Structure 1
């Protein structure tokens, strides 16, 4: 059962990589990269249960936190053009 789940996650991961490479906009690519991170977390969890080592879930939780922080940082950079921007005023277009 876990082997089937791992195969399905790998197929979805391949589709997300294709979307990241072919996405027409930056936001499509960013969504695909975030999905790749989520699939990696799922693969860690499934691999941990396949090998009988559930402590891989701790690594998955840490990777999820890094994924969220990285996504926020990249979207802030695309929005304001600088990570040091306080976010108080709108950028002049």
Structure 2
């Protein structure tokens, strides 16, 4: 027995809580960093974590030698969650020069 879905992180957060309480695995493609399989033993992520995309973005910024960046994001848990990871990726790419 398992729960498949939901696809959005907000809905997955709710369903994961139900899965944890009932001890039923939840398989979802939701990628919010707050939905960590490390913190939720019954959560199985069915997609790559979106943070894996940040290093290539940082590499592109470095390649074009862009000096200023305006980052537009949704002001919610998911949107704010990406900012520290982007910052880390930018710092990692900056150290490679």
TM-score of the two chains, using structure 2 as the length reference: 0.29
Higher strand share goes to which structure? 2
TM-score (norm 1): 0.30
